[in-house]
Amino acid sequence: MSSNASFKRWHFIHTWSSLICTVFLLLLCLTGLPLIFNHELDDLLGNHIAAPEMPAGTPAAPLDKLADAARAYRPGEVIQYMIWERGEDETATLVTAPRPDTHPDSTQSLVSDTRTGGVLGQPPSRGLVFILLKLHTDMFAGLPGKLFLGFMGLLFVVSIVSGVVVYGPLMRKLDFGAIRRQKGRRLRWLDIHNLLGTATLVWVTVVGVTGVVCTLADVLLTAWRNDQLAEMVAPYKNLPPPTHLASLDVSVANAKAATPGMVPSFIAFPGTNFSSGHHYAIFMRGDTPLTSNLLRPVLVDAETGRLTESRELPWYVTAVLVAKPLHFGDYAGMPLKLMWALLDVATLVVLGSGVYLWFARRGQSRRRLEKLHARPGQPAAVK
């Protein structure tokens, strides 16, 4: 195949892979920008519930006290999860629902004080951050929406690779950062498009790939439940459900003893997606910035509090755990968030300029055809 034919093929791939996914990528970039600052946005909107000031070294309340207070606050509901956010040792989030298997969109979160055990409040369940997150993750279409956005992400990666093939040789002929301002609007925007595309190349690839991985989270979680988790809880398969729940404090103490150097990230109560009908699944995490997103599940018998089994998560679940904070720039505090936001804005310019260049090219081709038709004696076959 000649080099000219190869160029046309790659140009066709780049053009159409970009155009097909551009509208959805614009949605993802526009919603993703405020989500980079989701914690700060919650603070600004008054949705963040903070614990009151107390003397340093105030001891933590028993976990069972937190659970009892949450049940009293939401009578008739069960606790699905108890969650500790990184850097917020004074509070814990307890997720309650009518049933253990209630869909996450129909649950309610409570913020509790880990020192007093009391409920501090109930944050809004359908606020701005929730709407932005749903638009960004599944467009309010559930799993089909997630998989569709994952496919758009794959097209985005294809457009990045094909763009490097098409425009890489062109960029080598220009000084880096050169904008041909005297060559007309279309060429000027082409140079801006290529420059920003080159400057954001690594970032958009990382965000695109991690975004695709995140859209597969539900599928990969189901695979883990049907594979590793099913093996871990197999001895309990034919046993009746527990008649009472063991102490959370005893259960967590046993989990800590089995995982030295790790702290609880969240507890999945019996019957939820991360556990079985007979277990507390206590997910332990590392206590450093680099290991805080690496989890290890510890299964504890929900009736006796006795440790039953613990295994490293399979690679595909670990990939999701690593991909999500990297996708949103949630690894190194505000400096990384600001960098992510700047690169997000640059990507919006790349996407918008790409659409403009496509329409400008079509308009230029149409004008050329009109000029050909306008020439005297032009054969009728030329159309």
- What is the model's pTM? 0.84
Establish if 345 belongs to a structural domain: yes
Establish if 9 belongs to a structural domain: yes
How many structural domains is the chain composed of?
Answer: 1
Write down the pLDDT at residue 230. Answer: 94
- Residues 351-377: what's their mean pLDDT? 69
Establish if 7 belongs to a structural domain: yes
| Residue 347 reports pLDDT greater than 80 | yes
Establish if 224 belongs to a structural domain: no
pLDDT tens readout for residues 43-82: 888 888 888 999 888 899 999 999 999 999 999 999 999 9
Establish if 329 belongs to a structural domain: no
Write down the pLDDT at residue 382. Answer: 42
**CB 30 within 8 Å of CB 351:** no
pLDDT tens readout for residues 223-243: 999 999 999 999 998 888 888
Establish if 32 belongs to a structural domain: yes
Establish if 312 belongs to a structural domain: no
Rounded to whole angstroms, how far apart are CA atoms 340 and 336? 6
How many H helices and E strands in the chain?
Answer: 12, 8
CA angle (301 as vertex; 296, 305 as ends), nearest 5: 95
Establish if 109 belongs to a structural domain: no
Domain span at residue 27? Answer: 3-40+142-214+337-373
